[in-house]
Amino acid sequence: MSRKLSTTLSARLIFRRWQSTDASNSLPLLKHTPEASVFRKNLPKRPGLAAYKQGMTTFFKSDGTRVPATVLFADRPQVTDVRTLEKHGYTAVQVGIGSKKVRNVTKPELGHFIKAGVPVKRDVVELRISPRAELPQVGADLSVSIFKVGSYVDVKAICKGKGFAGPMKRHGFSGSPASHGVSLTHRSHGSIGQSTTPGRVLPGKRMAGHMGGHNVTVTNLQVLQVLPEHDIVVVQGHVPGPKKGVVRIRDSIRPPKHPKEL
């Protein structure tokens, strides 16, 4: 019998002996269920908002410091559905923003909005929250007033798609020399692997390919201004995505220990 097999058998015998003789042990067994993994995730305790990116502007702080800022417009956000741990395996709030003509939606979408008791929305997104949080009622109105000036938020959106890009644009490679016999390979990445060891191209090799068009999360953006009457939130810094793009705003998961004053 091999050493590895004997070690495995001995470990199984020890576990069975412990399970039979000490069944009343107070130590709980480790939970590896999908439901248990949800509780281990660091999620916000309240739903955030979905908004449209309006563009960037300049904001002046109280001390006269000029900082870049992004304007986010939450166009009449409403709760269209909720996801529960018992039914769906995770907890989330579905939020709809904007407006759309009834003739431009499908029958399943129209039935979904009628069931929720809300007008037809242009965009619908899901916002994950902690399973210990209290879920809002379907059809409830949301407001930008949940965010306070000076607090920190995380913003998530799909960044601009750049299409198929070369290694210099995609990864910042310097390229080949422009002279000394270099022929038609000025912007190429050069060698990508070895012929003998390991004899293949390793996964994750930085090469030319599709650039952009993926989810990007920018953390710890400070809220500079909140205008509930206009459904506008102004945050410091840049936000991924193009203008009129949909972004998700939530409370910061890991806010800074020493917040900056406005």
42-163+211-251 classified as CATH 2.40.270.10: no
Q: Indicate the helix (H) or strand (E) that contains 171.
A: helix 167-171
Cis, peptide link before residue 198, omega less than 30° from 0? yes
pLDDT tens for each residue of 152-190: 999 999 999 999 999 999 999 998 888 888 888 899 988
pLDDT tens for each residue of 145-155: 999 999 999 99
Tokens of 1: 């019998």
Q: Round to the nearest angstrom and report the end-to-end CA distance of the chain.
A: 71
Q: How high is the pLDDT of residue 81?
A: 95
Q: How high is the pLDDT of residue 31?
A: 67
Among 125, 77, 81, 122, which residue's Cα sits nearest to residue 233? 77
Task: Give the start-to-end residue ranges of the domains of the chain.
Answer: 42-163+211-251
Among 248, 257, 235, which residue's Cα sits nearest to residue 55? 235
Can you list the residues of the chain whose pLDDT is less than 70? 1-31
Q: How high is the pLDDT of residue 125?
A: 95
pTM, entire model: 0.79
Among 81, 88, 78, 150, which residue's Cα sits nearest to residue 121? 78
Q: How high is the pLDDT of residue 34?
A: 73
* Distance between CA atoms of residues 162 and 6, nearest Å: 56
Q: How high is the pLDDT of residue 40?
A: 82
Among 253, 223, 227, which residue's Cα sits nearest to residue 70? 223
Place of tokens 């004899």: 199
- Using DSSP, state whether 56 is helix, strand or coil: strand
Q: Is 204 buried (19+), middle (13-18) or exposed (0-12) by CB count in 10 A?
A: exposed
Tokens of 177: 């020399």
Among 68, 41, 42, which residue's Cα sits nearest to residue 56? 68
